[in-house]
A and B are shown apart, each in its own frame.
Chain A
């Protein structure tokens, strides 16, 4: 288990343009504390790319390879193979994509890379919509959420389909390790990143990363909402390893409105 106190002070993320209270950049920053400097990031047009690598800015102190939206995991395979040829197989290769770049347009490439058994970690920071392009629904948008493409009106009631179960999709590939995590539970998340590092072969982590402008909440509530999602049973902390799925039990679940009320995207559900 990761001990928070023993994590390095040195940051591998610096000077990003992320919004105040961005859950995504927090998810990346936390993961890099565990991954360390011998890491290559492969990422895709997304909030993350938009706020970290606009020339001449370099918000990462590790190499970063940006690639097309559908191709994060395919480029990961290339980087893994290339580093192996260069005798640098010890460098960790980490794919980072949002939920759209993972569960929608990036799914084919991710499936291929997992199937090939390449040694990499894929972290999906899940903010439950296409935030970079202005909050359109993705396959990871939860039922009932208002987005700009699932608006609420006299007929529309927000997203009308349940969230895609990505963990089961990934598990169905017989991936060595997969997990869900929340930035509201750093020790759990960071321990999962560490476990993913230990695995030989592919590992997948989907971390809940609340988005203040996308979800419509005060930017100081990011971590609190990331906790409430778990405490209200909306975001199970699950782990798939050695063919077994385990889900962390919530001893005293909080009432659902605690999670929904602070978020504008669910206004129509709580205000009647």
Chain B
């Protein structure tokens, strides 16, 4: 069935189709309409779930944790300050290996107070042990939520998943979305069977304490699970594609990268604009590409290397900043390429050696990133490469959209 849905409605639809059993949430803009829609589904009987109306985001995630350890399929959603308020609980949920799904309608953090999109909220939760998937469209938001349940509950992963969608740009913008049939979703996502659940017959402890002798082992297993998740995310995306005819590339979503001199790396809805810009520049004969990063955690080092090492310049657009340094994604892309093998000799691009990585910070607090901004980044990078062609040094300092 095709329907006009905004990103938040798409998420709510996925949560219903996944037969989610417990939802706990506290309202925050621009997330609120997700859980309002779910409340409507429950009120009109189209979704059988318990809805816990909590008094804070911290409580929302604590309630989800409590519900999840009983062996139910659980969902919550938040944004910005709400995610920051959950920060403590994020570690409990991932450390306890609770496979729940949370939508984050990405929004900047105060101060200055803002309600508009950037990625600072989720990026700041980079090290909480959650899988973070960033989507480009409402369709992908719906599909990724369904995939997220499968990834999170995979026996070798058992890790919560954040599905991140840009506030307003995706959360409140309608597009035509293909809504899968319930029977098809049921085939893709069978009822949740927890390996361990609260049961007086088998009295487990959830959220144990661990001393210095044992704590590292727990964390090592978590690290292994996140690394393993790379393959699982790909598998689940492939499986989804086989059933629903739509895939998103798993961890990375490259666009015209094969022969590109300049590749722009970014996450989220800005990719839509970037595709237009790539098309335009390609028509002008420029060899440019786009790599949309879908999985920020786990960070797909091998996949990035495979695509990026042949380029001359890799531009990274961050909608966040690690203050006092640079955009976080830029740092991570550089780290991923460090020590990576030189491009294969047979490719003409090998003249570049290792690509130069230039970080750009833009779109903070909802600042629009238009085609001209992205074209400007591509032009700067292309110019730097040409300067090198003429015997100059390859220098590019990136930039900041003020």
Query: Are B21 and A85 in touch, CB under 8 angstroms?
Result: yes
* Distance between Cα atoms of A219 and B56 in the complex (Å): 40
Query: Are A77 and B52 in touch, CB under 8 angstroms?
Result: yes
* Distance between Cα atoms of A67 and B54 in the complex (Å): 16
CB distance from A106 to the nearest CB of B (A): 10
A residues near B200, Cβ cutoff 8 Å: 37-40, 62-63, 91
Q: Is B392 an interface residue (CB 8 A)?
A: no
Choose, from B63-71, B280-288, B352-360, the stretch at the interface.
B63-71
A12-71 contacts to B, CB under 8 A, are: 37-40, 42, 49-50, 53-55, 58, 60-68, 70-71
CB distance from B377 to the nearest CB of A (A): 42
Q: Is A112 an interface residue (CB 8 A)?
A: yes
In the complex, what residue of chain B is closest to A12 when comparing beta carbons? B203
A residues near B4, Cβ cutoff 8 Å: none
CB distance from B7 to the nearest CB of A (A): 26
- Please tell me the number of chain A residues within 8 Å of chain B, measured between CB atoms: 43
Q: Is A253 an interface residue (CB 8 A)?
A: no
Which listed residue (B68, B89, B218) contacts A68, Cβ 8 A?
Answer: B89
Query: Are A86 and B59 in touch, CB under 8 angstroms?
Result: no
In the complex, what residue of chain A is closest to B206 when comparing beta carbons? A65
B-contact bits for A87-104, CB 8 A (1 contact / 0 none)? 010010000000000000
Q: Is B155 an interface residue (CB 8 A)?
A: no
Q: Is A194 an interface residue (CB 8 A)?
A: no
Query: Are B208 and A55 in touch, CB under 8 angstroms?
Result: yes
Query: Are B55 and A82 in touch, CB under 8 angstroms?
Result: no
* Distance between Cα atoms of A82 and B197 in the complex (Å): 10
Query: Are B56 and A79 in touch, CB under 8 angstroms?
Result: no
A residues near B389, Cβ cutoff 8 Å: none
* Distance between Cα atoms of A259 and B202 in the complex (Å): 43
Q: Is B58 an interface residue (CB 8 A)?
A: yes
* Distance between Cα atoms of A50 and B209 in the complex (Å): 7
Query: Are B55 and A112 in touch, CB under 8 angstroms?
Result: yes
A residues near B204, Cβ cutoff 8 Å: 63-64
In the complex, what residue of chain A is closest to B59 when comparing beta carbons? A74
State whether A84 and B214 are in contact (beta carbons under 8 Å apart), knowing that A39-B200, A67-B66, A78-B64 are contacts in the complex: no
Q: Is A234 an interface residue (CB 8 A)?
A: no
In the complex, what residue of chain A is closest to B73 when comparing beta carbons? A85
B37-55 contacts to A, CB under 8 A, are: 49-50, 52-55
B residues near A68, Cβ cutoff 8 Å: 58, 62, 88-89, 92
Which listed residue (A38, A50, A67) contacts B92, Cβ 8 A?
Answer: A67
CB distance from A223 to the nearest CB of B (A): 28
Query: Are A66 and B55 in touch, CB under 8 angstroms?
Result: no
Query: Are B54 and A77 in touch, CB under 8 angstroms?
Result: yes
* B interface bracket (residues with beta carbon within 8 Å of A): 35 or more
* Distance between Cα atoms of A83 and B208 in the complex (Å): 21
Query: Are B22 and A78 in touch, CB under 8 angstroms?
Result: yes
Query: Are A78 and B198 in touch, CB under 8 angstroms?
Result: no
* Distance between Cα atoms of A81 and B42 in the complex (Å): 14
Q: Is A75 an interface residue (CB 8 A)?
A: yes
A residues near B210, Cβ cutoff 8 Å: 54-55
Q: Is B163 an interface residue (CB 8 A)?
A: no
B residues near A42, Cβ cutoff 8 Å: 66
Q: Is B176 an interface residue (CB 8 A)?
A: no
A residues near B21, Cβ cutoff 8 Å: 82, 85
Query: Are B89 and A71 in touch, CB under 8 angstroms?
Result: yes
Q: Is B190 an interface residue (CB 8 A)?
A: no
Which listed residue (B49, B52, B55) contacts A78, Cβ 8 A?
Answer: B52
State whether A79 and B55 are in contact (beta carbons under 8 Å apart), knowing that A71-B89, A74-B62, A86-B70 are contacts in the complex: no
Q: Is B376 an interface residue (CB 8 A)?
A: no
Query: Are A55 and B214 in touch, CB under 8 angstroms?
Result: yes
A residues near B207, Cβ cutoff 8 Å: 65-67
* Distance between Cα atoms of A49 and B209 in the complex (Å): 8
Query: Are B203 and A64 in touch, CB under 8 angstroms?
Result: yes
Q: Is B211 an interface residue (CB 8 A)?
A: yes
Q: Is B13 an interface residue (CB 8 A)?
A: no
* Distance between Cα atoms of A79 and B53 in the complex (Å): 14
Query: Are A71 and B58 in touch, CB under 8 angstroms?
Result: yes
Q: Is A196 an interface residue (CB 8 A)?
A: no
In the complex, what residue of chain A is closest to B22 when comparing beta carbons? A81
Query: Are A58 and B88 in touch, CB under 8 angstroms?
Result: no
A residues near B24, Cβ cutoff 8 Å: 77-78, 81
Query: Are B71 and A86 in touch, CB under 8 angstroms?
Result: yes
Q: Is A108 an interface residue (CB 8 A)?
A: yes
State whether A74 and B209 are in contact (beta carbons under 8 Å apart), knowing that A40-B198, A67-B92, A85-B22 are contacts in the complex: no
In the complex, what residue of chain B is closest to A49 when comparing beta carbons? B209
A residues near B214, Cβ cutoff 8 Å: 55
Q: Is B183 an interface residue (CB 8 A)?
A: no
* Distance between Cα atoms of A78 and B22 in the complex (Å): 8
A179-200 contacts to B, CB under 8 A, are: none
Q: Is A161 an interface residue (CB 8 A)?
A: no
Q: Is B72 an interface residue (CB 8 A)?
A: yes
In the complex, what residue of chain B is closest to A65 when comparing beta carbons? B206
A residues near B306, Cβ cutoff 8 Å: none
B residues near A74, Cβ cutoff 8 Å: 54-56, 58-60, 62-63, 66
Which listed residue (A54, A62, A84) contacts B203, Cβ 8 A?
Answer: A62
Q: Is B245 an interface residue (CB 8 A)?
A: no
B208-246 contacts to A, CB under 8 A, are: 208-211, 214, 218
Contacts A55-B218, A71-B89 known; 17 new A-B pairs at CB < 8 A: A55-B209, A67-B207, A70-B62, A71-B62, A71-B65, A77-B24, A77-B52, A77-B54, A78-B22, A78-B70, A79-B198, A82-B66, A82-B67, A82-B68, A82-B69, A82-B71, A109-B55
Which 9 pairs between the two chains have the least Cβ-Cβ distance?
A78-B66, A82-B70, A112-B55, A71-B62, A66-B207, A74-B59, A78-B63, A74-B62, A75-B66
7 A-B pairs with CB atoms under 8 Å apart are A63-B199, A65-B66, A74-B63, A78-B68, A85-B22, A91-B200, A112-B54
* Residues of A that sit less than 8 Å from B by CB: 37-40, 42, 49-50, 53-55, 58, 60-68, 70-71, 74-86, 88, 91, 108-109, 111-112, 115-116
